[in-house]
Amino acid sequence: MARRTDDRLDSPKGLRTSFVPRLVAPNDRFGRFTEGVARAMGTPWFLFFLTVFCAVWLTYNVLAPVGWRFDSAALGFTALTLILSLQASYAAPLILLAQNRQDDRDRVQIEQDRQRAERNLADTEYLAREVVALRLVVKELASKDFIRAELRSLLEDLDRDPKSETLD
């Protein structure tokens, strides 16, 4: 009996194909969408328009003729309740997804800040060592006053030395 080359148990896990295609959004469109929704739901304008929507809904279904009403006050505005529940059931996970993405970004930013702080510390320590080395070198260098004093003493020695006069 011939073995099949596409047997799922014989191929590594990474090479297996599944029957259900994976939906991968390029450039993380869904993540940006969730952040946009979460950002929009956290604004006063969203609350204002949601309040206006509910007020118009309630007003219409209370004041409109009975035949034109689509949501009964006697049943507790069931359709409005379902719409608001649906909105809330989608809002919570979208906000959590956006929060998770923000946490990931914060984690990356904290790591980059830590690495930058380590580099700054290493640079500061290097510069401190260089400053100390320069101070040591400067201490060994002759100062302007020292050179003047040495030149004066040489001039005095030349003035006192009789051989130097005969050489000229």
Q: Is the pLDDT of residue 44 over 70?
A: yes
Distances in Å between the Cα of 43 and the Cα atoms of 36, 38, 49, 105, 114 are: 11, 9, 10, 22, 33
**42 or 61: which leads in pLDDT:** 61
Residue extents of the structural domains in the chain = 25-128
User: Per-residue pLDDT for 95 more than 60?
Assistant: yes
Asked if residue 45 has pLDDT above 90, the reply is yes
The answer to whether residue 1 scores a pLDDT higher than 70 is: no
Residue 97: count of CB within 10 angstroms of its CB:
17
Residue 72 pLDDT level (bands cut at 50, 70, 90): confident
First to last CA, the chain: 118
User: Of 45, 74, 71, which is closest to residue 58 (Cα–Cα)?
Assistant: 71
The string of DSSP codes covering 5-37 is TT-TTTS-GGG---SSPP---GGGHHHHHHHHH
3-class SS shares of the chain: helix, strand, coil, % to 5: 75, 0, 25
Task: Report the b/e string of 10-30 with b at 16+ CB within 10 A.
Answer: eeeeeeeeeeeeeeeeeeeee
Mean pLDDT for the stretch of residues 108-126: 96
Average pLDDT on 56-66 reads 91
pTM attached to this predicted model? 0.51
Mean pLDDT of the chain: 83
Q: Does residue 5 register a pLDDT over 90?
A: no
Q: Classify the C-alpha dihedral 91-93-96-100 as positive or negative.
A: negative
